[in-house]
Amino acid sequence: MDINNIQMIGIEKDTPIEIREKVTFGNHIRDALKIFKGKGINEVVILSTCHRSEVYFYSGEVETQEAKEFFKKYFNIGKIVDPYIYSIKGNDVIEHIFRVACGLESMVVGEDQILVQVKDAIEIAQDEKTSGKILNKLFRDAVTLAKKARSETGINDLALSISYIAVKFIQEVFEDIKGKDAFVIGTGEMGQLAIKNLIAKDVNVYVTNRTHYRAVDLKNEIPEIEVVPYEEKYKRIAISDIVISATDAPHYTIEYHRFKEVYCNKKICMVDIALPRDIDPEISSIKGVSLYTLDDLKKTAEINKNKRIGLISIIERMIDDSIKEFNDWFRTLLIEPYIKEINTFAQNVCKTEFERVANKLKNASENDRKNIQISLKRVADKMCNVMIRHLKSDVLNDCNGEIVFDIMKEGDGHKKA
């Protein structure tokens, strides 16, 4: 077995979109897996996202250059892709998938979506029975590492999405926002992201839009929201804990004097994620009102971005440790036949010795016989475990990866494996 049999071919993530769109697997991953598996490849997993098309495979027969030709033939694409297609082997593949799963190769460092995509990739391959022991272990380790990296570094808490940061600001005001009433003005992309983030925090969300039918259409997509007529927005503001405005109006959608008329001196957090601004900045002078603008959110996003970048070196050290662990596991695969031989030998000895003892104990009860059998097995297992542990230690310390050991066999003398 050779670690360099683990290989990957793919398209550079910075490849122009007009090339990327020609080599995307889309909904045809399952068919592609079967085609690649039938080309002398033992195991294959395909990772296909909007930024990458990568084929991971394990084979002692197929080299990456041959796999590149499979790749080009599959997409019926010629030399136009040659400058952008690349291949790696062995530890380079292991490091690459670990970095990808951890989000270090993403446009947004540490982003979560790629982890989901890595999990989906191996699950589809397992479902289609195109992956096996090697790639199952590799991708499982990648997912485990990615979860650990995100958990231990807290990189997920460093939000970069403006809408998500808006909810973070609100949480800082109220600490616990579960069950709070939020009023979102605007049903565009930013407004919808804010709505989804609020709902995920168990907030009661009310929505309005100057064009009423858009709010109604949104309720069909997100049934958890309640639609408020635009002309009643100040009434709803007055009884809300949270107000987020995200429209493209050229003027203030929440004016100081109109707001002052309905404000009932309660604690309220307002977030303006519009440009030009939706909420009259003079409102921030009112006691009890916390007002955040796009500049506040962008500043936090930039700070978080720099903090995420600062965590890269920590995650890279975790990746180095995981690469070593995978290599140790891979090297122990070399001794699997010998481990099986040891266990088979032990089972045979147990069987022979049990039959010898049992024949001498004619008056022994069935329970006694069973206990003798169990005891013999326990002794054999303990001896096997010691031998296997030393065997694994030897192979991990053997730079050449060569294994030579003797197993005593009754009547056979020494057998060299």
Helix (H) or strand (E) holding 143: helix 133-153
The whole-angstrom separation of Cα 19 and Cα 72 is: 12
Q: Does 329 map to a domain?
A: no
- Do residues 10 and 152 both lie within one domain? yes
Any binding-site annotation on 384? no
User: What whole-number distance in Å separates Cα of residue 357 and Cα of residue 344?
Assistant: 20
Last residue of some domain: 278, 298, 318? 298
What's residue 107's pLDDT? Answer: 76
- Residues 180 and 66 placed together within one structural domain of the fold: no
Task: Determine how many CB atoms are found less than 10 A away from the CB of residue 381.
Answer: 13
- Dmax over CA atoms of the chain, in Å, equals 104
At 405, give phi and psi (nearest 5°).
-150, 160
pLDDT-derived band at 396, boundaries 50, 70, 90? low
Q: 50 a known binding residue?
A: yes
Alpha helices for 53-132 (secondary structure H): 64-75, 90-102, 113-127
Indicate which CATH number applies to the domain containing 208.
Answer: 3.40.50.720
Asked whether residue 257 is marked as a ligand-binding residue, the answer is no
Please say whether the beta carbons of 338 and 417 come within 8 A. Answer: yes
110-160: per-residue pLDDT in tens?
Answer: 888 899 999 999 999 999 999 999 999 999 999 999 999 999 999 888 877
Helix H, strand E, coil C: the string for 187-249 is CCHHHHHHHHHHHHCCCEEEEECCCHHHHHHHHHHCCCCEECCHHHHHHHHHCCCEEEECCCC
Phi-psi region of 15 (alpha: psi -120 to 50; beta: other; left: phi over 0): beta
Quick: pLDDT tens for 232-255. 999 999 999 999 999 999 999 999
Find out whether 130 is annotated in a ligand binding site: no
What range defines the domain where residue 72 resides?
3-157
CA angle 319, 323, 329 (to 5 degrees): 140
Q: Clarify whether residues 166 and 279 are in a common domain.
A: yes
CA distance 262 to 270: 15
Number of domains in the chain: 3
Stretch 387-395: mean pLDDT: 68
Is position 368 annotated in a ligand binding site? Answer: no
pLDDT at 413 over 50: no
The whole-number pLDDT of residue 401 equals 40
Instruction: Confirm whether residue 49 is marked as ligand binding.
Output: yes
CB under 8 Å to 102, separation ≥6 — which residues? 110, 145, 146, 149, 150, 315, 318, 319
Mark whether 7 and 153 lie in a shared domain. yes
Is residue 188 marked as binding?
yes
pLDDT at 305 over 50: yes
* CB-based contacts of 160, cutoff 8 Å, min separation 6: 108, 301, 304, 305, 308
Burial pattern 302-325, b for ≥16 Cβ within 10 A else e, equals eebeebbeebbeebbebbeebbee
pTM over 0.85: no
How many alpha carbons fall within 13 Å on the CB side of residue 386?
A: 6
Q: Are residues 151 and 175 in the same domain?
A: no
Q: Which of 397, 376, 375, 301 is nearest to 109 (CA)?
A: 301
Residue predicted with more confidence, 358 or 173: 173
User: Is 171 marked within a binding site?
Assistant: no
Question: Are 224 and 199 in contact, with CB atoms under 8 Å apart?
Answer: yes
Residues 345 and 389 in one domain: yes
The pLDDT of residue 408: 39
Coil vs helix vs strand at 34: helix
pLDDT of 74 over the 70 cut = yes
Residue 149 tokens read as: 């990296």
Is the pLDDT at 101 greater than 60? The verdict is yes
Q: Is 187 annotated as a binding residue?
A: yes
Indicate whether 287 and 183 sit together in one domain: yes
The verdict on 121 and 221 lying in the same domain is no
Looking at the domain assignment, is residue 282 inside a domain? Answer: yes
Q: Is 28 annotated as a binding residue?
A: no
**Residues with a known catalytic role:** 50
Query: CB count, 10 Å around CB of 367?
Result: 8
Q: What is the dihedral of CA 259, 265, 271, 277, to 10 degrees?
A: 30
Mean pLDDT of 182-199: 94
Computed on alpha carbons and rounded to an integer, the radius of gyration of the chain in Å comes to 31
For the chain, report the end-to-end CA distance as a whole number of angstroms: 16
Q: Is 78 annotated as ligand-binding?
A: no
pLDDT for the residue 390: 67
- 10 Å CB burial of residue 244 (0-12, 13-18, 19+) is buried
- Tell me: do 195 and 169 sit in the same domain: yes
State which of 271, 298, 325 marks the end of a domain: 298
Which tokens belong to 286? 């009112």
